Amino acid sequence: MTIIKAAITQATWTGDKESMLAKHEKFVEQAAADGVQVICFQELFYGPYFGNVQDKKYYEYAESVPGPTTERFAALAREHSIVIVLPVYEEDQPGVLYNTAAVIDADGSYLGKYRKHHIPHLPSFWEKFYFRPGNLGYPVFDTAVGRIGVYICYDRHFPEGWRAYGLAGAELVFNPSATKPGLSNRLWELEQPAAAAANQYFIAANNRIGTESDEFGDDAVTFYGSSYFVDPRGNYVGEVASTGTEELVIREIDLDLVREVRGDWQFYRDRRPDSYSSIVAP
């Protein structure tokens, strides 16, 4: 399979987990009706973005992976023959929590998970209160539509993980995010296109929208959407999504372009890992 139809979501917080799950079930059904073969939801898709406060009540959103949400969406994946990337809050055991994305293949089988490696602890992003750093490496999943990786939000600022996915043969890497205006705006425009060009694969980056005032009051931040796909040359695939409208962003991507671009540039031939030891020094 070379040309595939892929989708990412940008959605508002409804106020409760069950309605968010139902909303994203509808996204899957809509995507399947439009011929989509793989879909990825936004970071921590079934809850609010609670990183802007430090409150242990939000630990209640964590669940096992695989677990109830993966099982629920595995049934949808099987019904619609669609690959689903599920960014969820994972409880490995009481007090051991991760920001995780599960990958479900088109036949409903659970392929595995990625745990977010780089955990911020900054104003409005107090994530070390909620998550341990990921410890499962940078897995690439062989799916019905190709070789897929997942990098989560703050991870995108660290080029080493992007490279690890390229070295492992990723063709498409999803970057589900929860990103607010400020320092991030220019980086949002730059980083994923640059990473796609440097590593020569497709990247799909999605962000939340809306202000979760009912949940957090004056502590709420406004997420700016602007979800997009980029190709292995760093070009946008279609238009960038809106800054404030709920959207299912669907694009056709030709995975043969990965081979074409790598043949043109040969970055993987010319890289010099023998000279990079300082990069991984503690």
Task: List the beta strands (DSSP E) in the chain.
Answer: 3-10, 38-40, 83-93, 96-104, 110-115, 121-122, 125-126, 141-143, 146-150, 172-177, 202-207, 209-211, 222-224, 228-230, 247-254
Mean pLDDT of the residues in the chain: 97
pLDDT of residue 7: 98
pLDDT tens-digit readout, 177-208: 999 988 899 999 999 999 999 999 999 999 99
Read off the pTM. 0.97
Instruction: Give Cα separations from 30 to 98, 211, 252 (angstroms).
Output: 29, 25, 16
Q: Which residues pair with 170 in a beta bridge?
A: none
pLDDT at residue 252 tops 70: yes
pLDDT of residue 183: 87
> 148 is written with which tokens?
């897929």
> In angstroms, what CA-CA distances link 119 with 28, 91, 110?
29, 16, 25
pLDDT at 253 over 90: yes
Contact predicate 218/254, CB 8 Å: no
Q: Which of 23, 113, 127, 153 is catalytic?
A: 153
Active site residue 40: no
- The residues pairing with 9 across neighbouring beta strands, listed in sequence order, are 248
Task: Select the more confidently predicted residue: 147 or 1.
Answer: 147
pLDDT (tens digit per residue) in 236-250: 999 999 999 999 999
Catalytic residue among 40, 43, 90, 212: 43
Give the helix, strand, coil percentages of the chain, each rounded to 5: 35, 30, 35
Q: What is the pLDDT of residue 206?
A: 98
Is 116 considered catalytic here? yes
Please report which confidence band the pLDDT of residue 100 belongs to, taking 50, 70 and 90 as the band edges.
very high
1 falls in which pLDDT band (50, 70, 90)?
A: low
Which whole number is the average pLDDT over 267-277?
Answer: 96
Q: How far apart are CA 112 and CA 138, in angstroms?
A: 11
pLDDT over threshold 70, residue 92: yes
**Tens digit of pLDDT for each residue in 217-226?**
999 999 999 9
Is the predicted pLDDT of residue 10 greater than 70, yes or no?
yes
Q: How confident is the model at residue 41, as a pLDDT?
A: 98
Instruction: List the catalytic residue out of 113, 116, 127, 247.
Output: 116
